[in-house]
Structure 1
Amino acid sequence: MFEFRFGVDDLAATWFAYSPLQEAVLSLRARRSAARYPEQQPWITGWRSRYETLDTALLESLIAPVGFVPDFLTPRPAAPRPDFHAELARLAATPPEVVRSDVLAAYGGDGSPLPPVLAGLIDDPAALTARVAEVLEAYWTRCLAPAWWPRARSVLEADIAYRGRMLSERGAEGLFSDLDVRLSWRGGVLRLTDPHPAVRAVGASVDVAGRGLVLIPTLSGLGAQTDISQVGPPLIAYPARGKATMAEGLDAGLRGDRGGPGGPLAGLIGSPRARLLVLLETPASTTELAHRLGVTPGAVSRHLGALAAAGLLDRTRHGRSVLYRRSRLGDALLGRES
């Protein structure tokens, strides 16, 4: 069990972030365990031919058999919405002794031997780090960035927006109890209990001590987790709310004959706009919607503009992206207003 002890001001310094680098690394778990990550399988199938052109032996060695990941691969985000390449640069600058220690700790969790690709590089951790950075960049560019990441980012953004509301409405106890069943809050102490004996064996008591705890939603977690070593500022990753929606709409189109809604709503605003209105229960960008629906971003953009002008969608800017979500008026039109 891990315990995170909060001082008077530590709760105010707790913040949320997501990490594209962490999502890239942990997405490799989904290839190993299709039954645990069914929502990721359509994506994996779609990029299989591109994935097989990469250094798959090295990529797949980044996840130890027990599921542990060397801590240097998932550094604490430096900002709420970091850039993947900025995070990768931080990874590439990891001291060699830290890389070696983290790899051995991850594989030592259940006594698994190092796979040949790691065994051949573990005594030259600088070379190992350079190769890992190179293969992760290729994996990101060829498989994740074009369509998977825009969809993933919208799910993570929606989770963080929801958690902010939970904190304002229910306070710290309500927030932490809703994050994951492994987490509990009492008397200024946040406890993380992991059922795996290898994790329990390395449990620790951690003083937040003004360093700020960062909470990280992830698509690839089956429960709340933290760093194995606990040598850096404290962090907790937890399963993102709505991660099961990742594959929704991948085979649907804007046209009614491709699965779009029919009936009175389609007759009122047209099938393409009705389809978008149904999809936008959770925030999404123009690029993501275009991929999900198999149409061009320009076609989606025109419909989104019309729906927003009619007051049926709300728009929120996050960095360079604009996320759309159904407004209360849009909910009422669909008969989904609470």
Structure 2
Amino acid sequence: MALRFAVSPLWETIAGLRVLAAPGLSPVHQRWIAWAEERLLPLGADPSPLHDLATRPVVPEFLIPTPGVRSERVEVEIDAIAKATPERITAAVDDPRLRSAPAAAITAMQERLRAVHDAIILPVWSRLEGVLQGDVERRGRRLVEAGGPTVLAELHAEVSYRAPHLTVADRTVDIGERDLVLVPSAFTWPHAYLRDSPVRLALCYPAHGFGSLWERSDAPTNDALARLVGHTRARLLCELERPSTVTELATRLGVTVGAVSQHLGVLRAAGLAVSRREGREVVSLRTGLGLALVQGEVP
């Protein structure tokens, strides 16, 4: 078993639609739900099979391809849906639109996915990604310290692992030689969700810190934050609401690149920020804990 992590904006889009379909089951997302429902109104009714498939008890595997890298762009994920063969589609779901014209139905779903993502996920993606990447960093350190079986045992109450079998709720699969990709999600709670494919397995689970995503403090916290972590680090945490390079941060803060690097090292060590490589650059982003600290929600 090769165990790794991935962050999937496509899955957050699908999972967000599932939350909106049953809003009463997700009290921690009520602020986001009210906002997202208003954002979706201009899109009108879904003419594609997307809503019906996304809100089924089990989402068809071809609709949510598992990322091959840690952080994949949503455009790449949505484009990958078109690679599913008609046989694979019809084997996964019985829908007259997919039986009669699978290519047209897939195209319609891709267009709807892009519109939905742009409406309800993209505007809050920096906040979501901070929580998701922070969870990956947290569990990645645990993986190094204690190994894969321990990480899986600590992942979720519905998850258990006894080589070579993985059990999620009442479903057990033989992992075999496949990759097992752990995908944190802000919208999966209270359950874990297994995505099974011939190449790799994906296990979606509630990300650590998702519960404070939409909470806001009415009192200004910048002064208190500066007293706690220092003026420059407080400004840095505020700037890290979106992925940024060291050079970008140094320019916005008016300090040297070396100073930003040192402060980022301290924030990463405290679990307040994460950094990752994107091509030739390294970008940083605050974690869910960093966001809560900026908003004054950490006692």
TM superposition score normalised by structure 2? 0.75
Q: Which residue of 2 aligns with 1:189?
A: 164
Residue 219, structure 1, aligned to residue 177, structure 2: no
**Counterpart code for 2:138:** Y
Equivalent residues in 2 for 1:118-129, closer than 5 Å: 119-129=96-106
Further displaced range: 129-138 or 168-177: 168-177
**Counterpart code for 1:225:** Y
Give 1:310 deviation, angstroms: 9.0
Alignment equivalent of 1:236, drawn from 203, 207, 215: 203
Alignment equivalent of 1:61, drawn from 41, 52, 76: 52
* Residues 1:97 and 1:304: Cα distance change in structure 2 (over 3 Å): farther
Residue 317, structure 1, aligned to residue 262, structure 2: no
Residue 94, structure 1, aligned to residue 84, structure 2: yes
Q: In 2, distance between residues paired with 1:245 and 1:304?
A: 31
Segments ≥4 residues shifted beyond 6 Å: 272-277
- Describe the superposition over 1:141-195 as per-residue Cα deviations: whole angstroms up to 9, x where unpaired: 23321x2211111111011111112122222332111101112233x3343142x
Alignment root-mean-square deviation, CA = 3.9
Q: In 1, distance between residues paired with 2:227 and 2:158?
A: 47
Q: In 2, distance between residues paired with 1:204 and 1:173?
A: 16
**Counterpart code for 1:140:** H
Alignment equivalent of 2:116, drawn from 114, 119, 139: 139
Equivalent residues in 2 for 1:1-338, closer than 5 Å: 10=1, 13-57=2-46, 58=48, 59-65=50-56, 67-104=57-94, 119-145=96-122, 147-186=123-162, 188-194=163-169, 200=170, 203=171, 205-209=173-177, 211-221=178-188, 222-227=190-195, 230-249=197-216, 252=217, 258-261=218-221, 265=224, 285-287=240-242, 302=253, 311=263, 313-314=267-268, 316-318=274-276, 319=278, 321-324=283-286
**Counterpart code for 2:242:** T
Higher alpha-carbon Rg: 1
Give 1:18 deviation, angstroms: 1.6
- Describe the superposition over 1:256-281 as per-residue Cα deviations: whole angstroms up to 9, x where unpaired: xx412388x479589x989879xx6x
Give 1:86 deviation, angstroms: 0.8
Q: Secondary structure at the match of 2:174?
A: strand
TM superposition score normalised by structure 1? 0.67
Give 1:40 deviation, angstroms: 2.7
* Residues 1:233 and 1:262: Cα distance change in structure 2 (over 3 Å): closer
Q: Secondary structure at the match of 1:220?
A: coil
**Counterpart code for 1:246:** L
**Counterpart code for 1:123:** S
Q: In 1, distance between residues paired with 2:159 and 2:166?
A: 6
* Residues 1:190 and 1:46: Cα distance change in structure 2 (over 3 Å): same
**Counterpart code for 1:317:** S
Q: In 2, distance between residues paired with 1:78 and 1:262?
A: 39
Q: Structure 2: which 5+ runs fail to align?
A: none
C-alpha contact 1:154 1:284 (8 A) present in aligned 2: no
Q: Secondary structure at the match of 1:323?
A: strand
Bigger strand share: 2
Give 1:284 deviation, angstroms: 8.2
- Describe the superposition over 1:213-233 as per-residue Cα deviations: whole angstroms up to 9, x where unpaired: 2111122223222135x4342
* Residues 1:50 and 1:170: Cα distance change in structure 2 (over 3 Å): same
C-alpha contact 2:8 2:72 (8 A) present in aligned 1: yes
Q: Secondary structure at the match of 2:113?
A: helix
Q: Which residue of 2 aligns with 1:112?
A: none
- How many residues align? The count is 274
Q: Which residue of 2 aligns with 1:107?
A: none
